[in-house]
Amino acid sequence: MDDKIAQLLNQQVNKEFYSAYLYLDIANYYDEMDLDGYANYYMIQAQEERDHAMLFIKYMQTNDLKVTLEAIDKPNKVFNSVIEPLVAAAEHERYVTALVNDIYHEAYQVKDYRTMKFLDWFVNEQMEEEDHADSMVSRYKLFGNDPKGLYLLDQEYAARTYSAPSLTL
């Protein structure tokens, strides 16, 4: 495998673990506000990101690539309102999409079709993640300023359950 592709894949492992940290931080913020549904939503997001990292690790191992785990930065966001973490999450998902697209572009440049096929799942996943994150921002703007609306949104997010990704290598 191309060295640059291997390096980008390894960086993505660490970026996915950072994403999990970020979403744990957001979940903690909502937990402190007694918004248990929002906290649940982001705890599940953290699990998803951790599993994404594990998928990248498994792909690297399957291709006999060395995985190097780096220190995970502490999330540096300070939130002062219910909507701020939602906006931060939407921005972060766009950032992750750009990272995945960069790896895909590099794989295309060197005709690494195996990596491109592997990344297809992540391209689709990121489209879904951005859509959900943007929807949460929009729905909060529409309903969240009303206490009853916020309560109903929180109840909806409390019902979210986790389903591990079904990507097979």
**Domain assignment present for 165:** no
Domain with 37 in it: 3-158
Calculate the CA 112 to chain-centre distance: 24
pLDDT at residue 141 is higher than 70: yes
Q: What is the pLDDT of residues 145-156, one digit of tens each?
A: 999 999 999 999
Around Cβ 147, how many Cβ atoms within 10 Å?
8
Residue 164 lies in a domain: no
27 within domain boundaries? yes
Residue 163 placed within a domain = no
* Backbone φ and ψ of 93, nearest 5°: -65, -35
The CATH code of the domain that includes 58 is 1.20.1260.10
What is the model's pTM? Answer: 0.93
- Contact (Cβ atoms closer than 8 angstroms) between residue 49 and residue 23: yes
In the chain, the number of structural domains is 1
Beta-strand ranges (E) seen in the chain are none
